Structure 1
Amino acid sequence: MRRYLTYLIVLIAGASLLLAACGGSDKDEPLPEARTLLQEATQKVEDAASFELEIALSGYPVSIDVGDFPMPMDLPLQFDYARGTFISPDRLSANVQVSLGDLAATVDLVAIGNEQFMRSDTLTQGRWLQEEIIPGFAPSVLLSKDGGITSALNSITNLEMVGRADLDGLDVYHLRGQIDAANVYALTFGLMGSRQGALDADIYIMADDHTVEQIVLHEPPPVVPTQDAASGATAEAEPEDLEPTVWTISLQGYNESYTIEAPATEEARSDIPGTEAAQPDAQDVTSEPSN
């Protein structure tokens, strides 16, 4: 009887070890080569008919050059956050959060081709206007071969595989490298102030379907003049005294079906100082998935 129990214990232990070996976690698999994985993920961005794009900021603030658009206060317009939908080749609808000093505002933005439309309770009294709120930006640059998202990712140098990671509950591969600031125009809607120098970049790629999930760019703080109260002289703030700007760019909803059309704009804008009448358009706008 005792010998039978011994054999039974050994059999159960062996079976348990065998099951553990056969049912090992996917995270025990060898890591893919970093450049090959990034090229595969980048190709999926380039081939996408549509995707959702989210840009979040932390650290040193980013100002938006609004050109001649009249502002309600003599303060710089600062970019805080944006979430939108891109439809290839040249349509974008986004909700953009900005601030004027302590005043927070939301701007609805639609860009089709080279035309931009905006609506804001604070800046346009809730009406759609045809205005270039981001000078020089066109949605087509997002996938352009020169300066688009895919060319930016393919230009990353010193690329390394950090490992497999958990990104807010998502199973991802974490890659790290450096990217020239001149190549991130599209990634940041043309809002990044840096135009030269290498930026540290973290790229997160989904482990299951190898799509780009998130890109994090670390922009060094700008050189900011400071006033010496004692001497009245102007000096430059030390970069280490300022926070860098961290751009967190997320891509989701690949190849979903969306509709983006030009909104109807107001003909009369006489009550907005410094503006003229915009031509009306009879179409509506939505960035919700279409059934």
Structure 2
Amino acid sequence: MSGPLHGAVALVAGATRGAGRGIAVELGAAGATVYGTGRTTRRQRSDYRRPETIEETAELVCAAGGTGIAVQVDHTVPEQVRDLVRRIESEQGKLDVLVNDLGGEHLLDWHKPIWQQDLDMGLRRLRIGIEAHMITAHHALGLLSRRPGGLVVELTDGTAEHNERHYRGELGAFFDVAKVALHRLARAEGEELAPHGGTAVSLSPGWLRSELMLDFYGVTEENWRDALAAEPHFCISESPHYVGRAVVALATDPQVARWNTRSLSSGQLAGVYGFTDVDGSQPDCWRYALEVRDAGKPADPTGYR
């Protein structure tokens, strides 16, 4: 095992699929030891009702060159998170990177105002999307803050600039509030970690070609462009590895503190650090969203990837 993160210890909370899996694998490719958590195992499926498992993620991390460790954790249960962090401390003695990718993207009541949305579903969405992040930070940041250079990444959806200018009405108020709150959480974490030499940021991937999204359009990663017939703006989409490479770029930057408390995107960081997606492109989804999609222009990624 070698790489720029050899010897580093990372916790990716919510690593079963999507961005979390992509981040875990890329951290592994850089040589890190990665604890990947989730609720779906080969023996037990969560209410997400998806087939991906944390064991598969750990195996992908190992195949990429790192050490993958799968741990079944429900991050809305403080005792489970406490025990997870105690295990990391016992086995590794430190924590260098925390990635909070807890969202509950299956808990959506599309195209409904708040008074028509399912309240139990919405409150569950807030519990996973906000409370679970704070529970994890509460238990993990004590360990992470013991050594200077620690990095916290709060995964969200949309940059602070985009979310301030646009309400995600099709996804509803619960989704919108949960995603916007993570920018503020990263700000709080960054302010509190700075005296200990730590950094916290909120980070948004673009239009992610997650397993769920690929299934929605009936395509695979190999033929994803076939989905453009149904949704032309999908031309700006990116693989989960792209945001993973963004996290690696941050984790290996000796001057990462320059980003502390900032809202960032995978496309923005690609322009700074020079990494690419798996196809060699550099999609800049949120700039595209502001300047093309939201402006009502025809789909055209020219100049944006």
Which protein is richer in strand relative to its size?
1
Which protein is richer in helix relative to its size?
2
Which of 1 and 2 has greater Rg? 1
TM-score, structure 2 normalization: 0.27
